[in-house]
Amino acid sequence: MYAAQKDTWRQYNDLYAGGEQLRQNASIYLHRRNKEPLQVYGERLDRVFYENYIGSIIDWYGATLLRREPVLIYEGSNEAAKRFFAEFADDCDLKGTSLSDFFRRQLVSALVYGKTYVAVDFPRPTTQAMTRAEEDALGQSRAYLLEYSPQDIINWKHDSRGNLDWVVIRTTCHRQESVTDPICKPHTKWVYYDKQRYQIFERSTSNDGTGEMTLMDQGYHALAALNRVPLFQLKVSEGLWLMNKAALLQLEHFNKSNALSWALTMGLFASPVIYSEREWNQIVGESYYIQLGPGDKFGWAEPEGKVYQIAADNLVRLKDEIYRVCYLMSQAGSSQAMNVSQSGLSKQRDFSITQEVLRAYGDASKDTMRQVLRAIEAARQDGLVIDVSGLDEFDIGDFSTELDDAKKLLDLGIESLTLKKQLYKRLAYKYFCDVRQEIKDQIAREIDQSFEKSGN
């Protein structure tokens, strides 16, 4: 499966990135015409350009879905564990990346490749901790996340329940071995996980192009006590895999837009036409002149432009189709046509489809996030019940509507302290969606304490 899809993943990555990355690989995607001279094809490659609609669409989904941060809910009495998860939410990969930003990248990667992977790891212990407090002091309980694309997962096996039995991860980079050696050499790293143990192999290529694989580390991994591979998958369905739906349309648009651009450029240079019965061997150019006989005629040939209009109309249709298959109907079609033919109610219904797709992405992201956090909690044995909510509303200005709904729910007079407490927490989390997780946890504790004191 990896061998069959790796070329497709590389193509999808180029189409998403666009820019210089696609220009460098343009010979793969810009079709050469039958018997087209290499010099002409080379000039077309030099002039290549790319209108990246699908990249902007995928980034829009990632930005819109996590416009409001997910709500992390911790139930339990372990205050130290709650402080850890508050810190973890602000820096989940030991690089200063918040949990929301991390999963925004994972969603974008899933929309490009169809799936993406998150690994849970803990720092390697240098000394044996005797107590939990000592383990925390040494930083050995500081869980962190690693991200891997499908291009990194080169081999795997599932058990009878569909869970990973083992997996092999390969990453490659170029690095300079020392200050005195100015050459950056390829460095490859393999990580093997099964349900209990891990192994890390590395190989650096020498100057003669050879290198030996070396076992660098091995032992029990972070989730060995849970008997599971510490790798979690965020996957979208075939219907929600945006790059797969729009890639062929984007490639067709790329080739036709470049063909039209080339034709327009060539059309700016009119071709001379000589009407003569005798042999023609004169040179024509800006610094030359021609001599015609009594019956000869000279003129210029230029295109009428009908095919240009057809091509331009086709490019507009392809662009609209890219937006349509990505569930952004409200952005498909020219603005003039939309204003004339589509009512406000119709536009609202079109965007409601987009919102349902966003909610589906939100459910997939929350499910993976929930699995990751619960696995970390189980590995640390914190005794908390963790849940993730949110990612289901995409308009910051709709809080007043939710507040009105909450008031109506309270006016029903339902005698449930749990209902009121959870309702207040939900409203507070959404109103303060952009504050640090530590502040959200403090608000939740104060709400709990208030209900405990008042009893209502």
State residue 284's pLDDT score: 66
Look at residue 216 and tell me if it is in a domain: yes
The whole domain housing 227 covers 120-135+143-235
Look at residue 199 and tell me if it is in a domain: yes
State residue 88's pLDDT score: 93
The helix (run of H) or strand (run of E) holding residue 156 is strand 153-158
End-to-end CA, the chain: 58
Q: Which of 189, 209, 235 is the last residue of a domain?
A: 235
Number of domain units in the chain:
2
State residue 347's pLDDT score: 55
Look at residue 128 and tell me if it is in a domain: yes
DSSP bridge partners of 235 = 115
Q: Which of 219, 235, 251 is the last residue of a domain?
A: 235
Look at residue 163 and tell me if it is in a domain: yes
H-helix segments, 381-432: 399-411, 417-431
The helix (run of H) or strand (run of E) holding residue 441 is helix 437-454
pLDDT, averaged in runs of 10, over the chain (456 residues):
88 94 93 90 93 95 88 87 90 92 95 95 84 83 93 93 93 80 83 95 76 89 93 94 95 94 80 70 62 70 74 91 89 53 54 87 94 94 89 65 81 83 78 71 80 68
249 within 8 A of 321, measured Cβ to Cβ? yes
Look at residue 150 and tell me if it is in a domain: yes
Look at residue 390 and tell me if it is in a domain: no
State residue 451's pLDDT score: 78
294 CB-near residues (< 8 Å, 6+ apart)? none
Look at residue 402 and tell me if it is in a domain: yes
106 CB-near residues (< 8 Å, 6+ apart)? 116, 118, 147, 234, 365, 368
Nearest to 102 by CA among 91, 112, 86: 91
- 246: tokens are 């729009």
pTM over 0.75: yes
Report the C-alpha gap between 358 and 354 in whole angstroms: 6
State residue 173's pLDDT score: 86
Look at residue 42 and tell me if it is in a domain: no
Q: Which of 175, 203, 235 is the last residue of a domain?
A: 235
